[in-house]
Amino acid sequence: MKRPPLLAWLTAAWLVWTGTSRAGETPPAEAARQPPAGDTAKDEAAKAEEPKFIRVRRNDEKQPVAMETAVVHYVPAAAGKTGLVVDLVGAVHVGDKAYYDQLNKLFESYDVVLYELVAPEGTRVPKEGRKGGNAHPIGAMQNGMSAMLELEHQLDRVDYTKENFVHADMSPEEFNKSMQDRGESFMQMFFRLMGQGMAQQAAAQQNGGGTSDFDLLLALFSKDRALKLKTAMAVQFENLDDQMMIFDGPGGSTIITERNRRAFEVLDKQIKDGKKKIAVFYGAGHLPDMEKRLAADFGLKRAGEKWLVAWSLEKAKQGDGK
């Protein structure tokens, strides 16, 4: 049996984590299936037109220089309706300190910021962050990845104590019950994502791109290990929207569908309470589904976007701060 590529394992683990911030089914074979040759150009054109919430920015030599997340603005689609603005603010859960400094400043401009965290209702993360670490396996992986990539963790850097922050996610009990009712498990999601990651990695290498296990091993032993690893992983995340949708089957999923539903129940309440400028701060993989919900359930349309640098992929100049 052929050993799965190391990068596919790493990416799958990352995506299961990023979909589950904590204090129906598409089979792997379907995910790995390549489109017919005659449809490639059409599929590529369609993908280019799809909204993106995470991207890798490249220089003139096509080398990655930054991984960026989007802040996308939505306003009423109907003529004559004004006043309400909802921003979807993408998150990647670990990033540069400067990224979280930007987010903290941005969040001050909203009436309310709805945030994700699988935790008891009303949970507010203390300002000092997650002191003492996290015994949960996902929390342990978060700590390890943050250290390996020399990045900061979102729960340590975002100021959740602000008065305008409102918890908008499921409790652990609700999350676990939903997964049980749907017959879902983290192991199932992991192997599903790993199958897709292997197919994407193989396809990219056949086309002369992508990252191999050899590249990853070189990165691990490089004197610029953190930078090389970030670059390898960032390239994998260019198709994050597609990768996260592997969680969903015909009936959706707990990790995307049910959590987004809960978030938008809170959004609906905040709008009815008179809030006019609202941010929904969720993992970037949740946002394609959220955009559809904003259009279908709230009558909102996309009205602009801006991009924030989550990971700088350029070597810092001597004397630069992180």
**Mean pLDDT in order along the chain per 10 residues (322 residues):** 45 48 37 42 50 90 94 92 92 92 97 94 75 54 72 92 95 91 70 55 54 58 76 75 58 86 97 96 92 96 96 74 50
Q: Answer yes or no: are the C-beta atoms of 279 and 89 closer than 8 Å.
A: yes
Pairwise CA distance, residues 217 & 222, whole Å: 9
Q: Report H helices in the chain.
A: 6-18, 28-32, 40-49, 97-107, 137-149, 154-157, 172-182, 186-206, 213-220, 225-236, 240-244, 259-272, 287-298
By C-alpha distance, which of 206, 208, 198 is closest to 236?
A: 198
Pairwise CA distance, residues 288 & 282, whole Å: 11
pLDDT of the residue at 37: 46
Pairwise CA distance, residues 22 & 186, whole Å: 13
Q: Which two tokens stand for residue 244?
A: 């996260």
Q: Which two tokens stand for residue 214?
A: 């050899």
**Residue 113: how many other CB atoms lie within 10 Å:** 24
- In angstroms, how far is the first alpha carbon of the chain from the final one? 43
Pairwise CA distance, residues 158 & 181, whole Å: 33
Partner residues linked to 308 by β-bridges: 69
pLDDT of the residue at 93: 85
Name the DSSP class of 110. Answer: S
Pairwise CA distance, residues 108 & 122, whole Å: 20
Which DSSP helix (H) or strand (E) runs through 112? strand 112-115
pLDDT of the residue at 252: 76
Q: Is 115 helix (H, G, I), strand (E, B) or coil?
A: strand
pLDDT of the residue at 225: 74
Pairwise CA distance, residues 322 & 313, whole Å: 12
> What's the pTM value of the predicted model, to 2 decimals?
0.75
- The phi, psi pair for 87, rounded to 5°, reads -110, 130
pLDDT of the residue at 285: 85
